[in-house]
Amino acid sequence: MADPGPARLPPPEPPKPPVFSGEGEDLKPDKLKRWLRTVKKYLARSGLNDDTPGVADYYGFYREGKANNAFQTLDTEEENLTLPPLTHRFQQLFEASTNTDDTYHKWQNVRQTAGGQPARITKIAGELADLKGSLPNGSISDYAQKQRFLDAMDSRLRRNVESHVTILLLSTYATGNDDRFLRKRVSLFCTKA
């Protein structure tokens, strides 16, 4: 008889999503968005997506406290509860209207150098990317993110990097990209040189 080889291990089970209470720590900026994303990814592993009938009930499994009360109230108001009304109601109740403003303010104030000590630039890039992901889709263009990244750099690093950025911008411009902002930035770099 042939050797069957090593036994295959079952794929790891992801941890269950955290429970959302709508109180205390759950009222912090972006906590609701993170909870919604976590539950969505967890359910996707079971083949459920946002359009699956009854998916809102699955989101309802991971709530307690005020969030539980809000879910039950909405569930009795809506005949066949779907995810958009649930998300909208939770945003109204558990997300401060200033969250986006606070996140944008944080995004604008990211700096590589704090207290005279520069941080790793990869940390700054990650922080900017995380904050951009917390803002509404399309509110920050890739160009604006790259420009903000340059602005956040320590001045010594930026001096060394800016000439390389100029070359990249010029090569992008030479390929026929018709981006007004890109052309303006290229002309600014050319006048500096």
Range of the domain at 82: 24-94
Q: Is residue 28 part of a domain?
A: yes
pLDDT surpasses 90 at 66: yes
The stretch 3-15 carries a mean pLDDT of 74
Query: Is the domain of 47 the same as that of 80?
Result: yes
**155 pLDDT tier (thresholds 50, 70, 90):** confident
Residue for token digits 């906590």? 31
Which residue do the tokens 């790259």 mark?
Answer: 146
What b/e readout covers 69-97, taking b as 16+ CB neighbours within 10 angstroms? ebbeebeeeeeebebeebbebbeebbbee
Supply the pTM of this predicted model: 0.56
In the predicted model, what is the mean pLDDT of residues 144-168? 78
Beta bridge mates, 114: 117
- Average pLDDT score over residue span 122-143: 83
99 assigned to some structural domain: no
Same domain, 51 and 81: yes
**Of 69, 105, 107, 71, nearest in space to 87 by CA:** 71
Q: Residue 2: which residues within 8 A CB-CB, separation 6 or more? A: none
Q: Is residue 145 predicted with pLDDT exceeding 70?
A: yes
Choose the final residue of a domain: 94, 110, 135: 94
Could you give the number of structural domains in the chain?
3
- pLDDT for residue 165 is more than 70: no
Residue 97 has pLDDT above 60, yes or no: yes
| pLDDT tops 90 at residue 19 | yes
* Cα distance between residue 45 and residue 165, in whole Å: 41
Distances (CA, A) of 162 to 64, 149, 151, 171, 193: 51, 12, 11, 14, 11
pLDDT band at 159 (very low <50, low <70, confident <90, very high): confident
Q: Where are the beta strands (DSSP E) in 56-158?
A: 113-114, 117-118
Long-range contacts made by residues 166-170, C-beta under 8 angstroms, separation at least 24? 166/190, 166/193
pLDDT over 50 (residue 182) = no
The answer to whether position 12 is within a domain reads: no
Minimum mean pLDDT among 60-64, 98-102, 152-156: which range?
98-102
**Residue 107, token pair as written in the block:** 């995004």
